[in-house]
């Protein structure tokens, strides 16, 4: 049992729930803004995908709404890789599908040059995500610290913008007509 400042017993659940209620109140406005953004970019129609891909997609969305921007980056990139692996298999490029996102992007630029803009955006997101996945030295050009210094923008703002963009790119990759 936990005691308060006056020595009275306090239920731990009360303390935990109070902490969560305060956190909810403090983040409500930002979460509402994030949800409004998601609602403005999310596709209206559903589409078939493996259950794992569906979970990654929905958790990327939920992470963004909750302000978990590193998680958003990681999950959005995972969904994109799922989607592009499926595409490569559909195109008969099975060996490339198994190599990872960088190899897939290079091959898709050859196979689907009309989608170069979105493929390049995916690659930019991959480069930004990499220092979160594979720790890089402080002076690596794609660490958030270096980007922050170069752009003279707070790292949290850079992270937010990239998470927002990664979510938008994820939804674009989900619905784009790749077979045209």
Q: Read off the pLDDT of residues 19-72 as tens digits, 9 standing for 90 and up.
A: 888 999 999 999 999 999 999 999 887 778 999 999 999 999 999 999 999 999
User: Chain-wide mean pLDDT for the chain?
Assistant: 92
CATH topology of domain 46-175: 1.20.120
Q: Where is pLDDT greater, at 6 or 84?
A: 84
Instruction: Kindly report, residue by residue over 132-147, the tens digit of the pLDDT.
Output: 999 999 899 999 999 9
Query: Which tokens is 180 given?
Result: 């045209």
Query: Which tokens is 133 given?
Result: 């996945």
Model pTM score: 0.88
- Residue 46, SS3 per DSSP: coil
Cβ contact 125:76 at 8 Å = yes
Separation CA 83–CA 166 (nearest Å) = 14
For residue 37, list its beta bridge partners: none
Domain spans of the chain, in order of start: 1-41, 46-175
| Sign of the CA dihedral with 78 first, then 161, 48, and 116 last | negative
């Amino acid at each position: 049992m936990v005691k308060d400042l006056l020595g009275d017993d306090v239920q731990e659940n009360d303390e935990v729930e109070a902490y969560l209620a305060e956190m909810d109140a403090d983040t409500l406005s930002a979460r509402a803004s994030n949800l409004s953004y998601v609602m403005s970019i999310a596709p209206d129609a559903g589409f078939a995908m493996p259950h794992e891909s569906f979970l990654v997609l929905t958790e990327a969305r939920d992470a963004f709404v909750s302000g978990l921007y590193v998680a958003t980056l990681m999950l959005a990139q995972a969904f994109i890789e799922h989607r592009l692996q499926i595409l490569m298999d559909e195109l008969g490029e099975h060996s490339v599908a198994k190599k990872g996102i960088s190899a897939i992007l290079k091959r898709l630029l050859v196979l689907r040059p009309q989608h170069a803009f979105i493929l390049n955006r995916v690659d930019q997101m991959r480069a930004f995500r990499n220092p979160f996945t594979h720790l890089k030295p402080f002076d690596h050009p794609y660490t958030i610290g270096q980007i922050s210094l170069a752009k003279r923008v707070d790292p949290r703002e850079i992270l937010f913008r990239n998470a927002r963009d990664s979510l938008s790119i994820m939804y674009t990759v989900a619905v784009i007509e790749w077979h045209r």
